[in-house]
Amino acid sequence: MVPPAASRSASARTLRRRPQLSDDVAVHVRNLIMSGGARPGDFIRLDETAADLGVSVTPVREALLTLRGEGLVELVPHRGYVVAPLSRDDVNDIFWLQGQIAEELAIRTVEHVDDEVAAELTEINERLRRAVDVGDSALVEELEFGFHRRLNRLAGARKLSWFLLGATRYTPVHFYSSDPHWGDDAVASHTRLVTALLARDHEAVAAETRAHFEDGAKRLVRHLESAGIWE
């Protein structure tokens, strides 16, 4: 599993390429919280976070306002922002919601996948396999997102896709992309999914999609348990 420090470092490098966007800061802090790098009750200090990411205090403050609206942090009067409680059920609920939407999109995609689309998805998956093999976590994230984006667009359900994108922002992507075991399993899952899509097997498509998100939840819960955030 990806240690919190690794997740923090990878996110910080990305931020330094685009230092003034509060959305990027929110992504960093959100990933930090969801991967256990910042635990419930920990304070998120404006100055320290800004210095760590190489940005000014303003985007950090804006990002924390966003995260407060999402329920990930709380404002303690005269003290600052603190990480809100995060339970096992919270993690499972997040992935359940993602899985429900993704399953519906995948089922709607079945009738739109032909040999050409399958070949395109297989090529993306093969590139993903190579990225996992060499440990290129940034490319793993890009290709994993690209694989599912290609499928979701075929479903022709823009609002559902938008809701799924909103739900997946709570997924600590660096935690998964830096884990070669998850990467190998993701490649295998994609292969089975493409096979089921070509076979027009709605039940298999739904089951494979559900399993992908259930596996994500189990991995993250195990990691957070081992990090001791619920002790």
What's the burial of 205, exposed, middle or buried (CB within 10 Å: 0-12/13-18/19+)?
buried
CA distance 151 to 33: 29
Give the domain ranges of the chain.
4-83, 88-227
C-alpha span between 208 and 133 (Å, rounded): 23
CATH class of 4-83: mainly alpha
- pLDDT at residue number 5: 43
Q: What is the DSSP letter of 45?
A: -
- Along the 231 residues of the chain, how does pLDDT read in single tens digits? 434 444 444 454 444 444 457 999 999 999 999 999 999 999 999 999 999 999 999 999 999 999 999 999 999 999 999 999 999 999 999 999 999 999 999 999 999 999 999 999 999 999 999 999 999 999 999 999 999 999 999 999 999 999 999 999 999 999 999 999 999 999 999 999 999 999 999 999 999 999 999 999 999 999 999 999 998
| pLDDT reported for residue 8 | 47
Q: What is the pTM of this model?
A: 0.85
The pLDDT of residue 231 = 82
Q: What is the pLDDT of residue 100?
A: 97
CATH architecture of 88-227: Up-down Bundle (1.20)
Dist CA 26 CA 12 (whole Å): 12
Q: What angle do CA 101, 158, 160 make, to 5 degrees?
A: 20
Q: How many CA atoms lie within 13 A of 73 on its CB side?
A: 28
Query: Smallest Cα–Cα separation from 107: which of 145, 72, 154, 167?
Result: 154
Domain 4-83 identical in fold to domain 88-227: no
State the Cα–Cα distance between residues 107 and 84, nearest whole angstrom.
35
